[in-house]
A and B are shown apart, each in its own frame.
Chain A
């Protein structure tokens, strides 16, 4: 099967800043694909290259096998949900949603029919006459979604679409987006800086750093086997030991300095710098005697939190099997 989207050696620089540096990857049909990374890592530029807002300096973009590198945005069968929604303020919700059909001269009756369908799909059936200014953030989000989906694009691009919503609404929308994607079977390309969002929603995640992809994997693989120090730290906040191994905080035990180390474990002594209560778990930050700062995450039970204040000496230990070897940077 041809890939829904393929980027081949795409490079895009703005002046001296290289935003996307020789990136190649393919997105399968019907996939929920996330691009994850800190701001300035190149993920949004990649999305804009796919949408056609940016032209790659070199390399090519393929949409279902066709080279669309020089095609303007209006000639590509992809649609975008913008971070700021970009709803047209001088049009009603209905006119916003039917915009894509109207500029393609679809007859008014059909516009109306499909808009009603779409508004029902995003649960805004009776909101067609409103202006964008009269909507809440969550409603604007849904209008933006309906406006893009009504064109039945091959690929839907979402640029941090939930960034402006509060936590509760964001979690609801995450679930809704995921269900919608499964139901429609459209390829979703999702840009986010929130690793939890990327892990919970995606089929595959590309981790971006400094214009390059550090790792491209399914969420489980990404979490269990980070390949680089950056991926290990950015996804799930793993500890990087000696620059070569990743160890997840939940796999680190805290013990008395006097306790002996069982066979098959690594042991480090150090001093507690700080602890943070986080509900189900408690985080411990320990400065080891060789100077590394290691975070252990333990279930917050009486047996681990007993009398261990900042400044106390502790031993940290973890099984050899929990150490993941990283590729050299």
Chain B
């Protein structure tokens, strides 16, 4: 019977070849991986390596050209100049503040879409979070410039509500203030939180989706009030989501150079420093060394998050 069934036209590619690979699943997998690995190996890893190598190249002080002579001078310069440390601290502080604020604002939205909305409402919330996330990055930055401008929309709205005094007081506050929201750390903070908020909402919602509703019911059944259930059941189970989201908010803030240059106070941020050093200053070795800083900071952040048990519930 098998012979009668197999009597059709010969399959292509030949079955013998299919069987040869079927017996060698690992080889087949590695063969599939050849093109993507070639791409990542040459284009991406090759470039990252080139970047790292550049940070050890010397720079000719007079002609401002790079000479391929190995030196640690750039790294010494990066680590010893107090201004550089300021930039790193300022960027890190902003990243931490943005991460915390994003988590606080994101949680109720995520909780609502994961646990309380159902059917059409859930779909609506998903789209409502996803659309702003995928809306053009530059358009959103541009919008915030219009909103935060000295005579912009936010100022107009606050004046209409009679709250313009509050804004003035905030702008006079040292550290976060400035001549207007478009040139203050406060304005930059608002824009960062806005930009990365969906990256925080979606992982938290995904984590909460995975929490069986029966756990909440069990907590209530065992006598916990809603607030107790939140602190003892919901929040610990949402931690992996918060951790995942915070990696985005932290990493995206550390590396961004457009927001600090479009909306921001005069103080430099890591991304701007990298951009400026490779551009107008023409100091690629210093830019390369500086770009390693966010990687190190993200590494430290991940290690701390892991030690705090942020991934335990995964």
A and B touch in the complex (CB under 8 A): yes
Interface residues of B in 1-17 (CB under 8 A from A): 1-2, 5-6, 8-9, 11
Structural contact, B8 and A77, CB atoms closer than 8 A = no
Would you call A58 an interface residue if the criterion is a C-beta within 8 Å of the partner chain's C-beta atoms? no
The answer on a CB contact under 8 Å between B22 and A105 is no
Contact A77/B23 with A105-B8, A105-B9, A105-B11 known, Cβ cut-off 8 Å: no
Contact, CB under 8 Å: B23 / A106: no
Do A104 and B19 have beta carbons less than 8 Å apart?
Answer: no
Bound: A147/B163 CA distance, A: 73
Those of B173-204 within 8 Å (CB) of chain A: none
Q: How many A-B contacts if CB must be within 8 Å?
A: 20
A151 within 8 A of B: yes
Other-chain contact of A72, B5, B6, B11, B19 (Cβ < 8 Å): B19
Chain B min CB distance to A49 (Å) = 15
Q: Smallest Cβ distance from A188 to chain B, in angstroms? A: 17
B-side interface size class? 10 to 19
Query: Are B1 and A77 in contact (CB-based, < 8 A)?
Result: yes
A152 to B5: give the CA distance in the assembly, Å: 10
Interface of B is mostly: loop
**A70 at the B interface (CB under 8 A):** yes
B6 neighbours in A (Cβ, 8 Å):
104
Enumerate A96-111 residues with CB–CB distance to B below 8 Å. Answer: 101, 104-107
Q: Give the docked Cα–Cα distance between A101 and B8 (Å).
A: 10
The answer to whether A106 and B19 touch across the interface, beta carbons within 8 angstroms, is no
Chain A residues near B23 (CB-CB < 8 A):
70, 72
**Complex CA distance for A291 and B19, rounded to whole angstroms:** 59
- A144-174 with Cβ < 8 A to chain B: 151-152
CB-CB under 8 A from A260, the residues of chain B are none
**Closest CB-CB distance, B268 to chain A, in whole Å?**
53
Q: Cβ of A262 < 8 Å from any Cβ of B?
A: no
Is A75 interfacial (CB-CB < 8 Å)? yes
Interface hits, B191-245 → A, CB 8 Å = none
Question: Bound complex: CA of A72 vs CA of B22, how far in Å?
Answer: 7
Q: What 6 A-B pairs are tightest by C-beta distance, nearest first? A: A105-B8, A72-B22, A104-B5, A77-B2, A152-B1, A105-B9
List 20 interface pairs A-B (beta carbons < 8 Å), by A numbering: A70-B23, A72-B19, A72-B22, A72-B23, A75-B19, A77-B1, A77-B2, A101-B5, A104-B5, A104-B6, A104-B8, A105-B8, A105-B9, A105-B11, A106-B5, A106-B8, A107-B8, A151-B5, A152-B1, A152-B5
Contacts from A to B (Cβ < 8 Å): 70, 72, 75, 77, 101, 104-107, 151-152
